[in-house]
A and B are shown apart, each in its own frame.
Chain A
Amino acid sequence: MFETLSDRLQNAFARLRSKGKLTEDDVKEAMREIRRALLEADVHHAVAKEFTERIREKAVGQEILQSLSAGQQVVKIVHEELITLMGSDQAKIARAPKPPTVVMMVGLQGAGKTTAAAKLARHLQKKEFRRPMLVAADIYRPAAIDQLKILGQQIEVPVYAPGADIAPQKIVEQAMKEAINGSYDYLIIDTAGRLHIDDTLMDELMQMKSICSPHEILLVIDAMTGQDAITVAEHFHSKLEVTGIIMTKLDGDTRGGAALTVRHVTGCPVKFVGTGEKTDALEPFYPDRMASRILGMGDVLSLIEKAQETIDEKQAKELEAKFLKNEFTLEDFLSQLQQVRKMGPLEQVLGMLPGMGKLKQLQQANVDESQINKVEAIILSMSKAERQKPELVTKSSSRRVRIAKGSGTQVKDVNQLLRQFEDMRKMMKHLTGLTKGGKKGIAGLNALGGLGPKGGMPFGQKGKRRR
């Protein structure tokens, strides 16, 4: 439903090819597209306005030599500016000189505070080797305390939960003593979800704050939040002086423009993002990835990293060599398929690819896991020679019949696979041309090549990058 900003700008600049130079008017049109992209991503309209103004100033001064890359150039400026605005580094969670470090989780109902609290506790325990304790201070929502207790059990982190009959202020006070007695070094307080305009409950939070003097107050925000993120953030921040943000539900397909809004309003960094319902689905925040996402350019860097985690480097190099020599066989295809599947549910992997939102048919065709099982079965029913030389199968109908029988598919499925594989090989040719600095290739990929700090394709990446 959303065209990517990159596509739109390419279109907007496409007719400039003959002119070769950008006028004020052209930039104006680009700014319209940028504003539109930001609004579609749910960035607050006032923030979007201010942002495009900044971009306009930067873009007009820029000399654009080749109109072909004008769109890309503007996207690049936008992208970089977004990264700057969202903070160029990852913020760490505070650590008090004298334990316990007290962390308060606050936010609206349904933002995901309880889950985020448990994830944070697990993160501190498993990744930073701390001794956290969770505090169940949401006495209002039915079974919220039970939920935290169950999560605590799952991650083996103690939960201080004196019950729903005790005032949250009292719970916090007691939890502080408990933490000192039990020599816990982190105290993570789960508070009840509340409306930012609910004065009574906001006062309650302020009282809790003054009792436990937290080192971190983390505002938990649903990544799908729309324009209201600005009001929510303003209210929570003005009452409590928030120190950081946790964005939840980023495993959805939302563009997450609220991240920019919230950052803009509070000046606080996004410290973590929630990417799933399991307790280990908490990740650091990467401003560059978020920028790509807001612009609808896909989470290419996450994909690259994921690919690096799962794909054997030596194999990747061999594969790269094969790409270049155009010796890619069905066997390679099979092993690649299996590796991609190791990266996680396919739809999640595909969701990270730019332009997937637009290619609906492609997305649906690919996401169908049973289709992939079929492909796997077909290739596995081939002999080694056939996998190396698909032409053997193409030429012989008896081979095709045998393979179809062996894999429990139809001959037409076998034919289809062979055709698709041939198409893919052709595409590989294009791609390898691209990495050698060719200018043709696929427009979207071309743009991306210029955008990432290093760019390039996932499987061609060398070395593990960490930031």
Chain B
Amino acid sequence: MLGIFDKLKAGLTKTRQAFTERVATILRRRKIDEDVYEELEETLLAADVGFETTQFLLDHMQKEARRNKLETADQLVPVLQSAINVILGEDPEPLQFVKDGLTVILFVGVNGVGKTTTIGKMASKWRHEGKKVVIAAGDTFRAAAIEQLVVWGERAGVEVIRQSTGSDAAAVIFDAISAAKARGADLLLCDTAGRLQNKVHLMAELEKVYRVIDREIPGAPHEVFLVLDATTGQNAIVQAKMFHEIARVTGIVLTKLDGTAKGGVVIGVKKALDIPVKWIGFGEGIEDLEPFSSTMFAKALFEGFQTMEKED
């Protein structure tokens, strides 16, 4: 299967081919100086790594450079990449199924990040792996959100449990749990309405949904995925924090990586809250979802650094 990073690279190839060799020589020849540090800083900042984490990474890198007596610029990027990998940690199991019975996943996030689309993709993926999947249409607020999910359900060949717009989200989820149990499903994917994390009443509603699931199946939801738009800047840290407080987030789905945004803020999220990225989304196609790889992610962050060198 063509991975996202391969896709990304394929996209960049045109721009890159012409420069790759030149870049390599420039980097190799280039002595480490203030300008190199500055360019690396800009690369990290441009990837939304954020001021604090960027400073942290640069400090680390400078120490390492002194200690190992690094001399040329090409030696620095691997140091940064490995530091990022240390923060991101080992790639976790992207989805933990319970031994037997129903595994419940709750999807949360702010408006417009791609929760519904992600659920569609995930439903399709696990159905193809032979799991019986049911979807709960828990976004009862946004106009036509249910219809949108139903279309995805059809595409994935998965049943969608729903009520009408405006009904109680917790009640829909409650119904869906009963239905999923009755049908002997393996996996229940619960959609929720997008909500900004500073809306206290909406967060309280989410807490209720969480409680209802936990009451119906003790220990559930087994996974709570925070869906994060890769285009998002530093607010993502606040998002993760607030959603984590309410709904014990177990992993992040980083979406829209097919654009030009790199989603570097997840490094800060992991560092501050220890929430790992588990999945990445990279398109509107039903197959555009994959488990996260921190190595590939760290590599992709510096694609920009290399292309930037061409301007020298």
Q: Which residues of A are interface residues toward B (Cβ below 8 A)?
A: 1, 36, 39-42, 44-46, 108-112, 140-144, 146-147, 149-151, 154, 195-197, 222, 224-229, 231-232, 249, 251-255, 257-258, 277, 345-348, 351, 367, 369
Given contacts A45-B46, A141-B148, A151-B143, contact A111 B234 (CB under 8 A): no
Residues of B20-34 at the interface with A, using a CB-CB cut-off of 8 Å, are: none
Q: B147, A142: Cβ atoms under 8 Å?
A: yes
Range of interface residues on chain B?
35 or more
- Quote the shortest CB–CB distance from B1 to chain A (angstroms): 21
> Which A residues touch B237, using CB under 8 A?
1
Residues of B254-291 at the interface with A, using a CB-CB cut-off of 8 Å, are: 256, 258-262, 265, 284
Q: B232, A224: Cβ atoms under 8 Å?
A: yes
> Which A residues touch B151, using CB under 8 A?
142-143
Q: A227, B47: Cβ atoms under 8 Å?
A: yes
- Quote the shortest CB–CB distance from A28 to chain B (angstroms): 15
The 6 tightest CB contacts between A and B, nearest first, are A226-B233, A110-B112, A42-B233, A142-B151, A147-B144, A143-B147
Extra 12 A-B pairs, beta carbons < 8 Å, given A224-B229, A228-B231, A253-B238:
A39-B50, A46-B42, A110-B111, A144-B144, A146-B147, A222-B229, A222-B232, A227-B45, A231-B260, A253-B196, A345-B199, A347-B198
> Which A residues touch B11, using CB under 8 A?
197
Give the distance in Å from the alpha carbon of A246 to the alpha carbon of B152 in the complex: 29
Could you give, for residues 229-260 of chain B, a 1 whenever the CB lies within 8 Å of some chain A CB and a 0 otherwise?
Answer: 10111111110010000000000000010111
Q: A226, B198: Cβ atoms under 8 Å?
A: no
Give the distance in Å from the alpha carbon of A450 to the alpha carbon of B201 in the complex: 35
Q: B110, A150: Cβ atoms under 8 Å?
A: no
Residues of B174-209 at the interface with A, using a CB-CB cut-off of 8 Å, are: 196-201
> Which B residues touch A150, using CB under 8 A?
143-144, 165
Give the distance in Å from the alpha carbon of A144 to the alpha carbon of B117 in the complex: 13
> Which A residues touch B150, using CB under 8 A?
143
Residue of B nearest to A279 (CB): B143
Give the distance in Å from the alpha carbon of A367 to the alpha carbon of B242 in the complex: 14
Q: A110, B229: Cβ atoms under 8 Å?
A: yes
Q: B110, A196: Cβ atoms under 8 Å?
A: no
> Which A residues touch B241, using CB under 8 A?
1
Q: B259, A249: Cβ atoms under 8 Å?
A: no
Give the distance in Å from the alpha carbon of A351 to the alpha carbon of B265 in the complex: 23
Q: B261, A252: Cβ atoms under 8 Å?
A: no
Given contacts A110-B114, A277-B142, A345-B200, contact A225 B45 (CB under 8 A): no
A-B contact count (CB 8 A): 152
Give the distance in Å from the alpha carbon of A130 to the alpha carbon of B114 in the complex: 34
Give the distance in Å from the alpha carbon of A224 to the alpha carbon of B147 in the complex: 27
Give the distance in Å from the alpha carbon of A263 to the alpha carbon of B227 in the complex: 28
Among candidates B46, B47, B111, B259, residue contacting A108 with C-beta atoms closer than 8 Å: B259
Task: Tell me if B126 is interfacial: C-beta within 8 Å of chain A.
Answer: no
Among candidates A1, A151, A195, A277, residue contacting B141 with C-beta atoms closer than 8 Å: A277
Q: What secondary structure prevails in chain B residues at the interface with A?
A: loop
Q: What secondary structure prevails in chain A residues at the interface with B?
A: loop
Among candidates B42, B48, B110, B238, residue contacting A249 with C-beta atoms closer than 8 Å: B110
Residue of B nearest to A235 (CB): B260
> Which B residues touch A36, using CB under 8 A?
51
> Which B residues touch A225, using CB under 8 A?
231-233
> Which B residues touch A254, using CB under 8 A?
233, 235, 238
Give the distance in Å from the alpha carbon of A379 to the alpha carbon of B280 in the complex: 53
Among candidates A141, A147, A253, residue contacting B142 with C-beta atoms closer than 8 Å: A147
Task: Tell me if B113 is interfacial: C-beta within 8 Å of chain A.
Answer: yes
Given contacts A225-B231, A252-B235, A254-B235, contact A39 B112 (CB under 8 A): no
> Which A residues touch B258, using CB under 8 A?
195
Q: B111, A258: Cβ atoms under 8 Å?
A: no
Q: A367, B48: Cβ atoms under 8 Å?
A: no
Residue of B nearest to A197 (CB): B260
Given contacts A228-B259, A253-B235, contact A140 B48 (CB under 8 A): no
> Which A residues touch B200, using CB under 8 A?
345-347, 367, 369
Give the distance in Å from the alpha carbon of A42 to the alpha carbon of B238 in the complex: 13
Give the distance in Å from the alpha carbon of A331 to the alpha carbon of B112 in the complex: 44
> Which A residues touch B148, using CB under 8 A?
141-144, 146-147
Residue of A nearest to B196 (CB): A252
Give the distance in Å from the alpha carbon of A254 to the alpha carbon of B229 in the complex: 14
Q: A251, B196: Cβ atoms under 8 Å?
A: yes
Give the distance in Å from the alpha carbon of A111 to the alpha carbon of B197 in the complex: 17
> Which A residues touch B231, using CB under 8 A?
108, 222, 225-226, 228-229, 232
Q: A147, B45: Cβ atoms under 8 Å?
A: no
- Quote the shortest CB–CB distance from B146 to chain A (angstroms): 8
Among candidates A108, A253, A258, A346, residue contacting B233 with C-beta atoms closer than 8 Å: A258
Residue of B nearest to A253 (CB): B198
Q: B197, A253: Cβ atoms under 8 Å?
A: yes
- Quote the shortest CB–CB distance from B121 to chain A (angstroms): 13
Give the distance in Å from the alpha carbon of A216 to the alpha carbon of B48 in the complex: 31
